[in-house]
């Protein structure tokens, strides 16, 4: 076995590989770009090497830098993860030439499956069913159009060198073929540097079912059952599960048998996936599935296979690469229960799933992660930033249940319990998918999301009481009550009337002022423009419970920079809290006076009357709301008067007065 390996990847897959290597007592080396200097995978590894600037072309795709890092650190092998260089045969050749071991298949195996048309011709020879279509070399329009007529419309034009839906066009009418072909070719050329295509029969109700295969260097190949990856958006997988809903023993035997035959045909070693397209118009039939492509690497969705088999596929990869035989025979591989994986992304479903960069100010996964019923695969922590340079995945949530119904319930709970504040996520979209009646019934196909996209991406409405809870939390009164502050009950007391504690929110570009009063017995009053409400707030073990007329809300609150996030049912609603000191400055403190924006204690004074100060210089520190706030000079000037240290000031009391501009100027002569 290896003593040290290098992981040529980043994010959650790098963390995943490092975790297993450490469990096996293998040392690990991480590589990172400038943007990932403080990433989780770097912190987890025994050693880390910088391989270049943030763009992947200058770092994670630099084979020479990665190999040099492996040699420098004494690594014996390189694990590619997925994506980046994982299916690049040239990289494999370079690794082997450098005297290192590539933890994956041979370069020849990758080449054999690298081009869709050549792979399908190879599979036909091996007796693996292939989608009816044209996979030849001729690329003239007249030839391709003629083949499309022979196949029968609708047809699918597919880039032969790519994946992920790029260079793919469905054509329903012969008159649209030429335009669709031109569009597919241009996209394929841009994405893969190869504009050649193949033409296949379009399957009306397609399901995407794949089989996990594993081979070793001793001629052994096994399968680890199938996964259903039919829930896709723009040909990208969103939710995966194992086993496939509705599959029979007969269909499984036919499909897994074909997958093993495909792996044997190229003398495959390591982890791989044989992907099939299945015609589900009449349910799953043993003669209605066809080879689509092979992924010669570990898949993103491999954890669902691990959950139903109880096996560690990364450990198998390491053992096979080290020359060992497969740990189990086919008959020894178990199949238990049902597993589902959901890909949690920083993206906005309401804006065409655009990536949502930002800082993860708060990140917490379900409590059930600790007892093993939910598994998370992530490469980020609270405080990390989702950058524009890489895939915006936050985590993969993986659940296991005794059956599919139990797994669906577990996934819905996991999504509901996941807490993220600081960026928009697809968590509500994933939850809507899990609850979708078609998916829940197992009636899935690759077009489900597109058909119901509008319904699945309806923005989550702000829950009744969320804003009020944010105001109460921003006031500081709830926190004091939980801490047992004896003065909390007196906070709003006055001889003549109840005092309102000020909170200012930023709403639609405007500042809106609210007042919070303590009524006692866990009751509070909030007043504001067109607002007057009494509420009761109880602190329960896992959340706040806010009740009022028309409100019954259980939610958590998290303080984030310049705001409060209210977390409930897997969604986060953020309320911007205005900085009272900035408001005070905007209200007139830019002149010759600075006033206190709220009652407080002058904790310290940094300057004295007669001092000349610069804009931004700290003048004094005011303690208010049990926090210290620095009061800075809004402009250059000379101090005429300043509050004394230790003095208690009221709201709008004068703190600092500047001499007039003319007087300041005269001191400089």
pLDDT tens, 324-368?
999 999 999 999 999 999 999 999 998 888 889 889 999 999 877
Q: What is the 3-state secondary structure (H, E, C) of 116-136?
A: HHHHHHHHHHHCCCECCEECC
**Alpha-carbon gap, residue 368 to 365, rounded angstroms:** 8
Q: pLDDT, tens digit, for every residue of 213-247? A: 999 999 999 999 999 999 998 888 999 999 999 99
**Alpha-carbon gap, residue 554 to 539, rounded angstroms:** 10
Find the farthest-apart pair of alpha carbons in the chain and give their distance in angstroms, rounded: 98
Determine whether 552 is exposed, middle or buried from the number of CB atoms within 10 Å of its CB (0-12, 13-18, 19+).
Answer: exposed
Q: Return the active site residues.
A: 297
* pLDDT-based confidence at residue 482 (cuts at 50, 70, 90): low
Q: pLDDT, tens digit, for every residue of 37-55? A: 999 999 999 999 999 999 9
pLDDT above 80 (res 500): no
pLDDT above 60 (res 489): no
* pLDDT-based confidence at residue 498 (cuts at 50, 70, 90): low
Q: pLDDT, tens digit, for every residue of 552-571? A: 999 999 988 888 999 998 89
Q: In 10 A of CB 465, how many CB atoms?
A: 25
* pLDDT-based confidence at residue 477 (cuts at 50, 70, 90): confident
Q: pLDDT, tens digit, for every residue of 283-309? A: 999 999 999 999 999 999 999 999 999
Q: In 10 A of CB 668, how many CB atoms?
A: 7
**Alpha-carbon gap, residue 193 to 115, rounded angstroms:** 13
Report the range of poorest mean pLDDT among 239-253, 276-290, 468-482, 528-542: 468-482
pLDDT above 60 (res 488): no
- Six token digits for residue 489: 């009950």
pLDDT above 60 (res 76): yes
Q: In 10 A of CB 109, how many CB atoms?
A: 23
| CA atoms within 13 A of residue 14's CA, in its CB half-sphere | 26
* Distance separating the N- and C-terminal Cα atoms of the chain: 80
Q: 39 near 360, Cβ under 8 Å?
A: no
28 versus 497: which is more confidently predicted?
28
The pTM assigned to this predicted structure is 0.82
- 3-state DSSP assignment of residue 223: strand
Mean pLDDT of the chain: 90
| pLDDT of amino acid 625 | 53
Torsion of Cα atoms, 410 then 235 then 423 then 393, to 10°: 70
**Alpha-carbon gap, residue 476 to 410, rounded angstroms:** 35
Q: pLDDT, tens digit, for every residue of 383-396? A: 999 988 999 999 99
Q: pLDDT, tens digit, for every residue of 572-595? A: 999 998 866 555 545 545 568 888
pLDDT above 70 (res 662): no
CA distances from 156 to 2, 145, 184, 275 (A): 45, 12, 10, 17
């Amino acid at each position: 076995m290896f003593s040290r390996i290098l992981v040529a990847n980043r994010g959650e897959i790098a963390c995943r590989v490092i975790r297993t290597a450490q469990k096996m007592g293998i040392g690990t080396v991480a590589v990172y770009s400038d943007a990932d200097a403080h990433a989780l995978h770097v912190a987890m590894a025994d050693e880390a090497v910088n391989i270049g600037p943030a763009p992947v072309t200058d770092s994670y795709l630099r084979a020479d830098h990665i190999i040099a890092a492996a040699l420098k650190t004494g690594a014996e092998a390189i694990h590619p993860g997925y994506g980046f260089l994982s299916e690049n045969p040239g990289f494999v050749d370079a690794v082997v030439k450098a005297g290192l071991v590539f933890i994956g298949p041979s370069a020849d195996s990758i080449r054999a499956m690298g081009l869709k048309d050549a792979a399908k011709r190879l599979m036909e020879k091996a007796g693996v069913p292939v989608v009816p279509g044209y996979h030849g070399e001729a690329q003239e329009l007249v030839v391709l159009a003629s083949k499309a007529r022979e196949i029968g419309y609708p047809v699918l034009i597919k880039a032969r060198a790519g994946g992920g839906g790029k260079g793919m066009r469905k054509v329903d009418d012969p008159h649209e073929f030429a335009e669709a072909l031109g569009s597919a070719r241009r996209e394929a050329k841009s994405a893969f540097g190869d504009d050649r295509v193949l033409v296949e029969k379009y399957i009306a109700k397609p399901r995407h079912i794949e089989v996990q295969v594993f081979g070793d260097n001793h001629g052994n190949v096994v399968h680890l059952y199938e996964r259903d990856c039919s829930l896709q958006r723009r040909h990208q997988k969103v939710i995966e599960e194992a086993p496939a809903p509705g599959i029979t023993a007969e269909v499984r035997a036919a499909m897994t048998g074909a997958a093993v035959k495909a792996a044997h045909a190229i003398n495959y070693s390591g982890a791989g996936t044989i992907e099939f397209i299945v015609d589900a118009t009449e349910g799953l039939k043993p003669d209605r599935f066809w080879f689509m492509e092979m992924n010669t690497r570990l898949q993103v969705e491999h954890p669902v296979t691990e959950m139903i088999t109880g096996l560690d596929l990364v450990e198998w990869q390491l053992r096979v690469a080290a020359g060992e035989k497969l740990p189990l025979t086919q008959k020894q591989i178990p199949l238990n229960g049902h597993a589902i994986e959901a890909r949690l992304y920083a993206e906005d479903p309401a804006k065409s799933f655009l990536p949502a960069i930002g800082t993860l100010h708060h990140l917490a996964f379900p409590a059930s992660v600790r007892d093993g019923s939910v598994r998370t695969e992530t490469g980020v922590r609270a405080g990390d930033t989702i950058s524009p340079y890489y895939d915006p995945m936050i985590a993969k949530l993986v659940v296991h249940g005794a059956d599919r119904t139990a797994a669906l319930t577990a996934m819905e709970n996991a999504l509901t319990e996941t807490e993220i504040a600081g960026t928009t996520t697809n968590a509500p979209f994933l939850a809507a998918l899990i609850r979708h009646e078609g998916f829940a019934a197992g009636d899935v196909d690759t077009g489900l999301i597109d058909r119901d996209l509008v319904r699945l991406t309806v923005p989550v409405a702000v829950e009744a009481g969320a804003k009020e809870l944010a105001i109460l939390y921003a006031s500081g009164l709830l926190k004091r009550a939980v801490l047992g502050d004896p003065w909390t009950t007196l906070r709003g007391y006055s001889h003549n009337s109840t005092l309102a504690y000020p909170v200012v929110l930023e709403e639609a570009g405007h500042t809106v002022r609210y007042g919070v009063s303590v009524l006692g017995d866990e009751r509070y009053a909030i007043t504001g423009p067109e607002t007057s409400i009494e509420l009761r707030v109880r602190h329960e073990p896992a959340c706040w419970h806010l009740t009022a007329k028309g409100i019954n809300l259980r939610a958590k609150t998290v303080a984030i920079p310049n705001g409060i996030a209210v977390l409930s049912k897997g969604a986060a609603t953020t309320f911007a809290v205005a900085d009272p000191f900035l408001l005070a400055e905007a209200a007139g403190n830019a002149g010759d006076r600075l006033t206190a924006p709220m009652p407080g204690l002058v904790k310290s004074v940094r300057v004295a009357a007669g001092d000349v100060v610069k804009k931004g210089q700290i003048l004094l520190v005011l303690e208010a709301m049990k926090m210290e706030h620095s009061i800075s000079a809004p402009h250059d000037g000379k101090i005429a008067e300043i509050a004394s240290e230790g003095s208690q000031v009221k709201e709008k009391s004068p703190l600092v007065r500047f001499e007039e501009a003319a007087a300041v100027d005269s001191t400089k002569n």
